Amino acid sequence: MSAARFDLAGPLPAGTTVLEASAGTGKTFTIAALVLRYLLEAGTPMEELLVVSFSRDASRELRERVRERLVTARDGFASGRAHERDEVLQRLLDTDEEERRERLRRLDVALASFDAATVTTTHGFCQQVLATLGTGADHDPAAVLLENPRDLLAEVADDLYLRKWGLPGAPPPDMSRKEFLDLASAVAQDPATRLVPGPDAPEPAGQRSRIATAVRGEFEARKRRLRLLDYDDMLQRLARTLTDTTSAPAAKARLRRRYSVVLVDEFQDTDPVQWSILREAFHRYRTLVLIGDPKQAIYRFRGADVHAYLNALSSAEAVSTLPTNWRSDALLLRGLDAVFSGAALGDPRIRVVPVESTHAGRLVPAAAPVRLRVVTRTDRDVLKSGLLSTAVALPAVVADVAAEVTGLLARARLHPRDGSADRSVEPGDIAVLCRTAKQALAVEEALRGAGVPVVLSSRSSVFASRAAQEWLVLLEALEQPHRATRVRRLAVSAFVGLTAEDLDAPDALRRVDDLALALRTWALLLEERGVAALFEQVSLAESLQPRVLGQLGGERLLTDLRHVTEALHRAAIEGSLGLTALLTWLRRRRAEAEGDEGQERSRRLESDAAAVQVMTVHTSKGLEFPVVLVPFAYSHWSRTNPSSVVFHEGDERVRDVGGPTAPDWQRHLRDHDAEETDDELRLTYVALTRAQGHLVMWWAPTTNTPAAPLHRLLAGSGPDGVLPQRLDVLSDAASVEQFRERAAASDGGFAVEVVGSRELQAWKPTPPPPPQLELARFDRPLDLLWRRTSYSSLTAAAHEGMRFGSEPETAQKEDEADLPVEAAHNGEAHLHDVPSPWSELPGGTAFGTLVHAALEDLSGDLRGVVTRAVGRYAPGLAPDGLVAALESSLATPLDLAGGVPLAAFEGKDRLAELEFELPLAGGDDPGALEVLLERLAPLWRRHVPGGLLSAYAAALAHLAPPPVRGYLTGSIDAVLRTGDGRFVVVDYKTNRLAPYDEPLTAWHYRPAAMERAMIESHYPLQALLYSVALHRYLRWRLPAYDPAQHLGGALYLFLRGMVGPGVSASDGSAPGVFSWQPPPGLVVDTSDLLAGTP
């Protein structure tokens, strides 16, 4: 069917309509205008409109633009006038008075009910529909969205790999772990694609097919078992619901009642499953408008399938094109018409057609707006094939890019379209679009060397940045500090900052040896305290911050270094990764970023807007820039040795997982390569159409050029615009002549230039005018003793060295470190035969947090409380064992509470998680006072001269925390009010006081063992500080408060030793229950000490 030009002010689309766009033709503007017209002309209520896009950013922009369009229309109706170029609003106003009032009413209602509009992503729409259909769909309402299934998929792959080749007696593996993981990732994240060959294919292809099927099945089963849902699941389940004979009729009817008009943006990025959902739900039954540009279908590697778009195109009842380009100058468009020359981008139905421009002037009135810079073979090493290697061509192109940028900054002028005065082209006006992150890094380095402010786009992965490379160098050096090459590479990295000249100096060997020695210390720090502590230590030792910030682009580099640090720290904690595993994790993330598949996006800085933007073509989609440079479209890019290949049989997407020995692998590989090459054509279209006023491209005769997209466009032609897959590279002179013949038809829009030698001039920006205002200087002295501290911070030096920074606002409950135990002796021997109900339960920080969470609320059903806590903190742990263990602990008698167990305390007599902040030496107004905590040891000796915990005075004397002012913060696990009106501090401990190879019994929690554990962990200090907090709280809240009468002591409940009633030590106390009654005078004197009382 022939496509007509779409008139936005013409008849409203009805039925299924495809609006085919081109770059810059205003898809979002069109959607917003159509929403306005459906609301006001057709009377469609806001809640019956569905607007769908394919990314969160796009749907956010759509929502903002639609609301902005409604507000503008409301202003127009209020004034009775529309802007002369706003044909849509003029049409809406061009009606009788009564209809105008009705349209104004509809507009007011639409704005008031705008939150009811469904403007969302495809996945968001599927999630909403599944939730609405409830039991009528394959939906688990308790499932949690798994935004990035990468780690779960790796876990599934590793399990299957070990199950097949890791068991005793198993044969040697036929695949490396990496190859296995690559295959697993490909098939599991592309669940709708048919797999070939079948499981009965000759080996090893048949085995690979069975593995692929097993991975898909196990991945799906594990997600269901863990109640996880990824984006593919949403699509697959809704598609099944809409095609199932039982659920489909009711589901379709519900959707058609809910929505009468559906508009889909960026439809070229759809896939067969998404199109089947829209087709089954709305095609031929509701107004369905599909807006997309198949020439920009570039997300094939993520599962998008332009064949689904073409399938919808053939099913549509009407097809129209958006004819006007709102982005680029008219002469630039004529230059692009000469470049593309009506080419078909991978399919005869995807043709580049001319579009009109609304900008007759020149944004950048320099030479031709489209320029091709040709790198020749002159004075360069030529291979036997007569072509250049990519390794020779790339530095030549990168150097010319840097020279071009500095030349534009020095000489080019920009004529703003808003009528303001001409100005020089600035760094922020320029974008350099690269195919890979590696190319982007090379351009960034060259521009930085020329003194040009440059930034890798904040929309690209931080793992593709220089900072990730610097971290890789550091981790490699930490892994093998004995290898001089790795140490020297680290020495010249951003972390250390030496230069090549430094490494050639007489003392270079000593400096490298010192760094190798430091690496061993840093590796130990990484093992003990994690990535964040390592980064802080290296930063301090090597003066990282001031040194980096003093460099051009230092703010960006430091921000990215910190961003990568956070990602590494999080990965290390969540995956319990050691150094080697962490290094592997970072390498994998960098490999994913090479394909623009990274999830961690680099953070945007305010200074980025004033720098040249260097980004991948994928990142640039949807953006526009006054000046665009495309240096690498001369080179064909492809993935080598793929684990599987994707191709099409007709319109069906198929994945061959059989590998090189599979019967049809070579044919399928050729089909796959052909589709990849077509994808490169569309990527080049995206790159070249980002420019508003000036575009510069590069061509070089390399071994990768014959199949390269730019070469195919400039040197090829064919029936229906279909280009050959490869074209021979002619001589330099013939190639230049061929390109100039193409440029001759552009009316001056396209020019060809031969790259010669030109000296790179460092760019020197025009100095800004002197400021009229000057920032005030901060000269107030800082009180370096003031801080928020806690028991954990005060004792940190005794355990692991001082922590960096202040205490966090909220602390995580720790499963405290397990302690060494004494050799068995005859004392309390009867407790050896009493097993701990906690012996089979895990340890760790997450488990400690889980136990504390379960003990916060004892007023209801214990099993329910534990089940909810397990779901939050330890998914996959069976709650039965923890419930049984807690029941025993809760039933254990507490001697300071008159033998009453914890379970018997009602809510009115039990206060959980009493948080406190105690002023130290005046708090916010400390004056000259300071708390000298070294005075605690003499206080302890005076008040506790003998008996229980008297030995702690010596440990306290060695603690020696520094003087402090400010606040002491903490949270008491519980405070109990006993029957005689006394108040008892309770703290829960989950320490395991037995070796892991020894069964855990009540004997390990006898009084002597607990006292030793208390002293070694400085718990007596914690008990004293918590008693001071309780003392101050009661002094404030309790009338006639008397410390001697109302302070009931401290109970430290070692939960793993609390085995229930009927078991006691020789002194009558229950195992696991450590009871201590601090002398009231010690509590009062310590409170005075903390207050700074002399």
Q: How many CB atoms lie within 10 A of CB 535?
A: 24
At which residue do the structure tokens 């100039």 appear?
740
Alpha helices in 381-465 (DSSP H): 390-411, 437-449
* Domain boundary assignment for the chain: 4-136+235-322, 150-229, 359-458+608-754, 462-601, 787-803+812-1090
Q: Is 621 exposed, middle or buried (0-12, 13-18, 19+ CB in 10 A)?
A: buried
> CB–CB of 295/683 below 8 Å?
no
Bond preceding residue 1080 cis, omega within 30 of 0:
no
Q: Cα–Cα distance between 1047 and 896 in angstroms, integer?
A: 11
Rounded to 5 degrees, what angle do the CA atoms 447, 452, 456 make? 60
State how beta strands 318-321 and 4-5 pair: parallel
Q: Which helix (H) or strand (E) segment is 648 a member of?
A: strand 645-649
Closest CA to 824 of 1008, 949, 1056: 1008
Closest CA to 982 of 1026, 1042, 1025: 1042
> CB–CB of 971/918 below 8 Å?
no
* Residue 457, CA atoms < 13 Å, CB-side half-sphere: 23
Q: Indicate the SS3 state at residue 1094.
A: coil
Tell me the DSSP string of 154-196: HHHHHHHHHHHHTSTTPPPPSS-HHHHHHHHHHHHT-TTSEEE
Out of 3.40.50.920, 3.90.105.10, 1.20.120.80, 3.90.320.10, the CATH code matching 787-803+812-1090 is 3.90.320.10
How confident is the model over 776-798, as pLDDT tens digits? 888 888 777 787 888 887 877 66
Contacts 24+ apart (CB under 8 A), 300-303: 300/646, 300/675, 300/676, 300/679, 301/595, 301/597, 302/597, 303/189, 303/190, 303/271
Q: Cα–Cα distance between 180 and 166 in angstroms, integer?
A: 13
Q: Which two tokens stand for residue 371?
A: 């320029």
Residue 61 CB contacts under 8 Å (≥ 6 apart), including other chains:
28
pLDDT at residue 472, rounded to an integer? 94
Tell me the DSSP string of 57-124: HHHHHHHHHHHHHHHHHHHHHHHT---TT-HHHHHHHSS-HHHHHHHHHHHHHHHHTGGGSEEEEHHH
Which segments are annotated as binding site? 21-28, 852, 973, 987
pLDDT at residue 601, rounded to an integer? 56
Burial 698-714 (b: 16+ CB within 10 A, else e): bbbbbbbbbbbbbbbbb
pLDDT at residue 929, rounded to an integer? 59
Q: Which residues of the chain have pLDDT under 70?
A: 1-2, 458-460, 594-608, 768-769, 797-827, 926-932, 960-961, 1094
Which segments are annotated as binding site for ATP? 21-28
Q: Which helix (H) or strand (E) segment is 830 a member of?
A: none
Bond preceding residue 197 cis, omega within 30 of 0:
yes
Q: Which two tokens stand for residue 634?
A: 């001369």
Q: How much of the chain is helix, strand and coil, in % rounded to 5?
A: 50, 15, 35
Alpha helices in 484-578 (DSSP H): 484-491, 500-503, 508-529, 531-541, 544-549, 554-575
DSSP 8-state class, residue 932: -
Catalytic residue at 987? yes
pLDDT at residue 608, rounded to an integer? 65
Which segments are annotated as binding site for Mg(2+)? 852, 973, 987
Residue 617 CB contacts under 8 Å (≥ 6 apart), including other chains:
298, 433, 434, 435, 683, 684, 686, 687
CATH 3.40.50.300 correct for 4-136+235-322 = yes
Torsion of CA 636, 639, 642, 645, to 10 degrees: -50
> CB–CB of 982/1048 below 8 Å?
yes
Amino acid identity, position 610: A
Q: Cα–Cα distance between 606 and 455 in angstroms, integer?
A: 11
Rounded to 5 degrees, what angle do the CA atoms 884, 888, 889 make? 115
Residue 136 CB contacts under 8 Å (≥ 6 apart), including other chains:
241, 247, 250, 251
> CB–CB of 109/77 below 8 Å?
no
Closest CA to 425 of 662, 765, 762, 708: 765
Q: Cα–Cα distance between 574 and 647 in angstroms, integer?
A: 37
Q: Cα–Cα distance between 828 and 1069 in angstroms, integer?
A: 12
- Among the listed residues 507, 987, 1067, 1085, the single catalytic one is 987
Q: Cα–Cα distance between 268 and 707 in angstroms, integer?
A: 24
The whole-model pTM stands at 0.67
pLDDT at residue 807, rounded to an integer? 35
Burial 597-611 (b: 16+ CB within 10 A, else e): ebebebeeeeebeeb
Closest CA to 259 of 38, 56, 111, 63: 38
Give all strands of the β-sheet with 645-649 in edge-to-edge order: 194-196, 652-656, 645-649
Write the class of the CATH domain 462-601: mainly alpha
> CB–CB of 346/675 below 8 Å?
yes
Write the class of the CATH domain 359-458+608-754: alpha beta
Alpha helices in 651-693 (DSSP H): 665-688
4-136+235-322 and 462-601 share one fold = no
